[in-house]
Chains A and B, each alone.
Chain A
Amino acid sequence: MCGYLDEIQEVARKEFGLTEGSFIKNRKLFGRAWEQEFDSFLRAAFVDGAEYRKALTGYTTYIVDVMRQLVAFQKDGTYAPLTYEEATHKVYQNEDRMMNEYLPGHLISQFLWVHHYRHLLFFRTFFLRDMALSADQRFHDVGVGTGFYSSVILNGLPGARGHGWDLSPHSLKFTERLLSRFGTAERYTSHLSDILTAPDIEPLPFVVSVEVLEHLEDPLTFLIGLRKMVAPGGKAFITAALNSPHEDHVYHYRTELDVLDQVRAAGFHVENAFSAYAYPPTKRSPLVPSVEAVIVTT
């Protein structure tokens, strides 16, 4: 039974028509497992109609904005110039925008965007599995965003304990609320701090940093800092968005190799890599947004 998912899809059909196609497509593509997992997630994350409508509104805004920028992007293949400071002012420090639109929309995209969900499957199969086999399941999540990946770890591993790092107080607040909904917040510590300047960060066996790199002006320096957070023998799960113009995407990764080369330049050894695309290329949109994920060791 996926009654809550059915209810929300029906609301999408009537009130958020642009989003309904993603529900239909992913039901066909990922089947029963996706339906059951998404239903359970929705029940915990969005407890009533007001909350899931907020998420659908945010998701709608997100995809319209992305598509508008993609049309311009197809013409010259470059992102509009943007500094991290500008993105911070426009998005990350804007409480109303973050709590009511950006974060709820991003959160629901983890299930509604094909490439996001494929990355979750990759993460579960090749990273969470290794975490489950480890005696020490402590982790850092750097640039928590919505807190989704922290929640996946804490939900999946009752012995895991996490540290979430972000420069946006709203991201941390949103994450704490999400984890509270799942009853895992007591195993999590939030840090409103820059990992490059925070003193005495204890390296842990597992580090996660999901779709952070493209938001930075200097992702290589960030990756070098991230490597210091991985304990000897540990591993990290790192992802980056490619060819994905967005209002807060600063650094443009054009190919999978751009990400792999940079991760290696930071001193990581690439153990596994996975690419997922948003949709097949078309005549009008030959440049397709994608996400590259790597599992790396030190």
Chain B
Amino acid sequence: MDELRAQLQEVFREVFDDEEIALRDEMTGNDIEGWDSLMHLNLIIAVESRFGVKFATSEISNLRNDGENVGSMVSLLAKKLGRG
């Protein structure tokens, strides 16, 4: 797991209060208990705070669209951090 994914996994564990979460790119909202819209927003805000980035409303919403997954979030985050 690269550094970005490892840091993201820490955020997931903190937000969902679950130290057992092992993040994989293909994971979606169905794979993590409690990942509803409310928790998605909590997660995004925590990610913004951790990485010092800002997501647009459309980006936040699109990450919940059918077909999007953790990998989509990693890609978007990497792009914002200039690592993509």
B17 touches A64 (CB 8 A): no
Q: Which stretch, A8-16, A42-50, A236-244, touches the partner chain B? A: A8-16
A14 touches B36 (CB 8 A): no
Q: Mark B2-38, 1 if CB is under 8 A from A, else 0.
A: 0000000000000101000000000000000000111
> Of B42, B62, B63, B68, which one neighbours A67 at CB under 8 angstroms?
B42
Most chain-B Cβ atoms within 10 A of its Cβ — which of A63, A284, A285?
A284
A14 touches B66 (CB 8 A): yes
Task: Count residues on chain B whose CB falls below 8 Å from chain A CBs.
Answer: 19
A67 touches B61 (CB 8 A): no
Decide: A60 near B61, CB < 8 A? Known: A21-B36, A21-B37. yes
Contacts of B53 in A (CB 8 A): none
A284 touches B42 (CB 8 A): yes
**Whole-angstrom CA separation of A16 from B68 in the bound complex:** 12
A15 touches B38 (CB 8 A): no
A16 touches B37 (CB 8 A): no
Main secondary structure of the interface of A (DSSP, over half): helix
Measured between C-beta atoms, what is the minimum distance from A224 to chain B in Å? 38
Decide: A17 near B45, CB < 8 A? Known: A61-B57, A64-B57. no
Decide: A63 near B37, CB < 8 A? Known: A18-B60, A71-B42, A283-B17. yes
Q: Mark B38-69, 1 if CB is under 8 A from A, else 0.
A: 10111001000000000001101111111010
Measured between C-beta atoms, what is the minimum distance from A175 to chain B in Å? 26
A298: CB under 8 A from chain B?
A: no
B42 touches A17 (CB 8 A): no
> Of A15, A19, A71, A284, which one neighbours B37 at CB under 8 angstroms?
A19
Contacts of A78 in B (CB 8 A): none
**Whole-angstrom CA separation of A259 from B3 in the bound complex:** 50
Measured between C-beta atoms, what is the minimum distance from A11 to chain B in Å? 11
Measured between C-beta atoms, what is the minimum distance from A82 to chain B in Å? 20
Residue of B nearest to A66 (CB): B41
Contacts of A19 in B (CB 8 A): 37, 61
Contacts of A13 in B (CB 8 A): 65-66
B61 touches A16 (CB 8 A): yes
Contacts of A14 in B (CB 8 A): 65-66
A36: CB under 8 A from chain B?
A: no
Q: Mark B62-79, 1 if CB is under 8 A from A, else 0.
A: 111110100000000000
Q: Mark A33-73, 1 if CB is under 8 A from B, else 0.
A: 00000000000000000000000000011011101100100
- In the complex, 28 of the A-B residue pairs with CB atoms within 8 angstroms, ordered by the A residue number, are A14-B66, A17-B61, A17-B64, A17-B65, A17-B66, A17-B68, A18-B37, A18-B40, A18-B60, A18-B61, A20-B37, A20-B64, A21-B37, A22-B37, A60-B57, A61-B57, A63-B37, A64-B41, A64-B57, A64-B60, A67-B38, A67-B42, A68-B41, A71-B42, A279-B38, A284-B15, A284-B42, A285-B42
Listed from nearest, the 6 A-B pairs whose CB atoms lie closest are: A17-B64, A17-B65, A67-B41, A18-B61, A21-B37, A64-B57
